[in-house]
Structure 1
């Protein structure tokens, strides 16, 4: 059997039908480099791509943090889902049935997740029916038409309508077999005794969303995980989101990311806006690499998600003070994250929705091309305060600018910006530089902000001699002949991870005596001791002038070292025998040592080898 209760046959069928490059490419912006694909690692912070995917071997490896594995490993590490859930999801995509009992996921939590998922899908269909209803949906259709939203865009984003009726959704879902507890768990209904209202409602519950245009929030697995609603007419809050549920975490989710990820990967850029209509309007205008926050500030988890798809980020917030503050708050999240961030400022009175309807995609492209970096945007904001304020304001603003510049890890970048700031304010550049130590000491006393992503710390690599590493590399590349393998011994390798690799390789020899590389990778790719080593060696590109000669040389070196270790052990044993006056052992050991010295440059004959083991 495979992992859990899922058979190896099912696991292998699914893996053979998917292409890891296609799956990874849905989450990481990849570019082709030789035979492999490269991108920024989604599992740690880096500025230069070290995350590599091999279509031919169906594995991935990050040379920065050491993460590696197959398509199952990637999705488990990326989503946090368990192995059975990943297998089941991939199985549905490629048409391989995975028994529901497989994986031991019959727990109450698993059942609840499944019911919330099905309930959200049913609720989304209900809201769409209500929007199309001739009478009930008329106000919402008129509103969407007034916002310039086309019918095909409504269909693409599955936009719906929650009617004014107090418990319309609740009654509809109860008829479909869901329970009041299901509706509460999904955040779609609220118990009446919590409402403070005197209304009566089905089963003592009322709908959370009423008289609102509804936007399903879809995750990267294409599941409806929550909803956002924009009220029709007056009322507060203008926008209302589902509460967090076992299926929905607001600080990890971006609206329309599932629709944007392909375009974001192709352009290596993701545009971040603040509202549902902003995202929808830009998509409708043909700007498809756009996602929106859900009424909250960007979080470290958001940055981690964004890095899977893009290396460039465009912040497109409203031009009012709230929008400026929202952009400035992201500085600590993005600084030194490996992402290039720019800020597009819209004309006063416009938001992304209204601007793109006026000027179209070309108008936005013009703004984008002139957009400053997030660092420059933050500096400019502080400089405007310095130029227009009192002396005290200017001092505070200068300190703010220097603190911003301190966040940059690039000394040349800092120096150039300090020069520009000094010129702008008519101050001495040296005076600004002299101010740095004081601010630096203040910063060290402050609590450190939570990092946006895990620091780039590589996993410890097993130490091995060059000959050992080269032989292991050529082994997983399938370059060792049957004769080479007969000369290969796990005991000749100094590191346990290498010994484990060689032992397993010798167990995966085919009828012709060569190693089945695919079988070896399947066995070891997730091995705790040497999985990372195997993925790294599989992805490493190293040139050898003469492969057979290099293999022979490495084997000769390992055998020579083995003989030297044997010689050393025999000498130590001889000394012990002499001290203990074991004459027979002294005679035997002297004979073996003398024969080894005579044959120092060659290979020990079988008779001598047997004698050593006596």
Structure 2
């Protein structure tokens, strides 16, 4: 095991803002940062990062945690690997350990990564050291690639053999299964013999944002006769694997991500050599789609780093068509899109090598256009703009693109721009835009319903399979067919057709369970209440994260828990002496309160970081409480000229929150008693309920009118 003090050293050294910024474009907000959540699709930022506490929290989907959990989720690594990865990044020595047995899927993915890393070194060595690789090396040097660039990006050469990589991997004891799962080898039709997937090709390793090899692109090379083989694809990429999904891959993102943030712009090109040449010329905020059509997934990745996209595709017709197709997707993602057409016969690779960095930047500043201006210029250059029919079609195409933009103000800005350039009235343009918006909305709704139907079918099939598996297990364990049939019937009735199951119900005040006076005043037995709580939890069959789409949770409950988390054992002792878990209306907050009390009695540590490393739902709950989504931000208070002194006297704050807690608790009890009174059948029962109602009303008035210091003692008096 890695020692605890090493874990803490890594955690305290790692900059969570820097780590999260690898995947999310963050903006400062008060004492923290906000951005679009990387765990779900959203248009408005609900993802928060606190550098002071070292945690993150999304109020949209509920994901939360610390720097370790973020790396685990984003990079798909284990806890130990996250520690090692961060230790290496932030120069903390993490000792080696004997790794515990891991699950099969994890071992398979790590095996794939290991095979890919080995292949990358093998191909690079073949390029730099073998006689056969000299042809590929000469080709690169003729294209202007420097040795430093070749080494930095790990370029390589796959020998013209069917067993080059396979034999090298066997000598290095690389499992053949991992080579196959990584897309590095293939099997013959009869499945008896394996052969290398890449042969006599220039190899471009493809890295993920964390810098791990996830696949390769291979460019065909000329044969011994100096001719390129016919009927052979110029480029082939790794097939889809457990670590490589071409629709989510951007070549060069590992080297460009920080430069993209720095320049607040990403330059999107088509090919590997475009990226390499531009990076070599010190224009490093560049990535490529690697020869595939631009996808929504790729654009979402780019949106994590910037809102500004410059598309530079080849000047040929194919390149221009690909750029046009990508514009609508980029606009739909909410990106600010500009386009740059290079001189005829040029691509980014050739252009940057001729013009160098300064020449490229000057050309970019002079010729990059927004998509409206670009579309009209393209029509003018083709001599089509003056033709009424072609002009109408061009305007319709532009309006269709504008309709994809999610922000209304941005749409209006582009309409104004189109009106100026096309010399058309805005009224007609807005009317046509509304038609396009309605058409687009119908398409979105149609696709949404189709997706819902697909999801429903998949869910039903999945549930059917799960139910059948359960029945099969019963049969295999020796039960007779009648018993199995009974089990199957039982499973099929576990639906929500008759309302939610018992474990979803929150009946905090069952009939007749009248709390004693001490329960208002907070002198309840916390050990007993926690034990009953724990016993109830043992009987639950489902454990879920707290819901973040429900009504707003009680602020006073959240305030008490925040004080307990921030001020730890002394505050837990104080608040715990004045209330118990029954006072909490929110079930999730009640759970956390009970756990805090239990940890206090057991002498266990209490802190935000402790809970961020616990099982769910604690990280999500604590993240919500610490970030306090519903409180007025410090920045807003500053603008309003208010003094920011949230917990100048934390025990005074606690007393105020306790008063609110007791009042709302008594209101719930009063409602329950009124229901009991209205259903009482005898006069004696009515009288009993009436007396209890009067007592509750008296207590409520007392909490509402008395001074806080009269209601609650000071901590030194406990």
Q: Secondary structure at the match of 1:41?
A: coil
Q: CA deviation at 1:157?
A: 0.8
With over 3 angstroms needed to count, the CA separation of the structure-2 counterparts of 1:61 and 1:385, relative to structure 1, is farther
1 CA distance for matches of 2:438 and 2:673? 62
Q: CA deviation at 1:335?
A: 2.0
Q: Kindly report which structure 2 residues correspond to 1:476-495, keeping only aligned pairs within 5 A, or say none.
A: 476-478=565-567, 481=571, 482-495=573-586
Q: Kindly report which structure 2 residues correspond to 1:503-522, keeping only aligned pairs within 5 A, or say none.
A: 503-509=594-600, 516-522=607-613
Q: Kindly report which structure 2 residues correspond to 1:89-238, keeping only aligned pairs within 5 A, or say none.
A: 95-97=94-96, 99-102=98-101, 104-105=102-103, 107=104, 109-133=105-129, 135-178=131-174, 182-191=178-187, 204-233=193-222, 234-235=228-229, 236-238=232-234
Contact kept? 1:140, 1:213, Cα under 8 Å: yes
Q: TM-score, normalised by structure 1?
A: 0.80
Q: RMSD value over aligned CA atoms?
A: 4.3
Q: Secondary structure at the match of 2:214?
A: strand
With over 3 angstroms needed to count, the CA separation of the structure-2 counterparts of 1:288 and 1:449, relative to structure 1, is farther
1 CA distance for matches of 2:403 and 2:164? 55
Number of the residue aligned with 2:428: 431
Question: Over residues 322-376 of structure 1, what are the superposed CA-to-partner deviations in whole Å (9 max), with x where a residue is unaligned?
Answer: 2222222223322242433322322222111111111111222223334223455
Q: Kindly report which structure 2 residues correspond to 1:325-336, keeping only aligned pairs within 5 A, or say none.
A: 325-336=321-332
Matched, 1:350 2:346: yes
Aligned partner (choices 365, 368, 385) of residue 364 of structure 2: 368
Number of the residue aligned with 1:264: 260
Q: Which moved more, 1:497-506 or 1:280-289?
A: 497-506
With over 3 angstroms needed to count, the CA separation of the structure-2 counterparts of 1:252 and 1:551, relative to structure 1, is same
Number of the residue aligned with 1:612: none
Q: CA deviation at 1:207?
A: 3.2
Q: Secondary structure at the match of 2:132?
A: coil
Number of the residue aligned with 1:534: 625
Contact kept? 2:334, 2:407, Cα under 8 Å: no
Number of the residue aligned with 1:200: none
With over 3 angstroms needed to count, the CA separation of the structure-2 counterparts of 1:429 and 1:194, relative to structure 1, is farther
2 CA distance for matches of 1:591 and 1:181? 75
Number of the residue aligned with 1:610: none
Q: Secondary structure at the match of 1:69?
A: strand
Q: Secondary structure at the match of 1:552?
A: helix
Q: CA deviation at 1:397?
A: 2.4
Q: What are the ranges of 5 or more consecutive residues in structure 2 without an aligned counterpart?
A: 223-227, 452-546, 635-643, 709-718
Q: Which moved more, 1:121-130 or 1:352-361?
A: 121-130
2 CA distance for matches of 1:584 and 1:47? 57
Aligned partner (choices 545, 556, 571) of residue 659 of structure 2: 556
Q: What are the ranges of 5 or more consecutive residues in structure 1 without an aligned counterpart?
A: 196-202, 605-614
Q: Secondary structure at the match of 1:287?
A: coil
Matched, 1:399 2:399: no
Contact kept? 2:55, 2:64, Cα under 8 Å: yes
2 CA distance for matches of 1:244 and 1:514? 46
Q: CA deviation at 1:161?
A: 1.7
2 CA distance for matches of 1:553 and 1:159? 65
Contact kept? 1:42, 1:307, Cα under 8 Å: no
Contact kept? 2:293, 2:322, Cα under 8 Å: yes
With over 3 angstroms needed to count, the CA separation of the structure-2 counterparts of 1:398 and 1:268, relative to structure 1, is closer
With over 3 angstroms needed to count, the CA separation of the structure-2 counterparts of 1:240 and 1:418, relative to structure 1, is same
With over 3 angstroms needed to count, the CA separation of the structure-2 counterparts of 1:578 and 1:10, relative to structure 1, is farther
Query: Which has the bigger relative contact order, CA under 8 A and spacing at least 6?
Result: 1
With over 3 angstroms needed to count, the CA separation of the structure-2 counterparts of 1:590 and 1:283, relative to structure 1, is closer
Q: CA deviation at 1:535?
A: 4.9
2 CA distance for matches of 1:568 and 1:25? 49
Number of the residue aligned with 2:483: none
Q: CA deviation at 1:156?
A: 0.5
2 CA distance for matches of 1:445 and 1:318? 34
Aligned partner (choices 274, 284, 288) of residue 280 of structure 2: 284
Q: Secondary structure at the match of 2:205?
A: strand
Aligned partner (choices 298, 305, 315) of residue 301 of structure 2: 305
With over 3 angstroms needed to count, the CA separation of the structure-2 counterparts of 1:78 and 1:393, relative to structure 1, is same
Q: Secondary structure at the match of 2:618?
A: coil
Question: Over residues 370-398 of structure 1, what are the superposed CA-to-partner deviations in whole Å (9 max), with x where a residue is unaligned?
Answer: 42234553465467668447543333223
Q: TM-score, normalised by structure 2?
A: 0.70
Q: CA deviation at 1:503?
A: 2.3
Q: Secondary structure at the match of 1:53?
A: strand
With over 3 angstroms needed to count, the CA separation of the structure-2 counterparts of 1:36 and 1:97, relative to structure 1, is farther
Contact kept? 1:127, 1:160, Cα under 8 Å: yes
Q: CA deviation at 1:26?
A: 2.5
With over 3 angstroms needed to count, the CA separation of the structure-2 counterparts of 1:10 and 1:98, relative to structure 1, is farther
Contact kept? 1:255, 1:291, Cα under 8 Å: yes
Number of the residue aligned with 1:315: 311
Q: Which moved more, 1:428-437 or 1:567-576?
A: 567-576
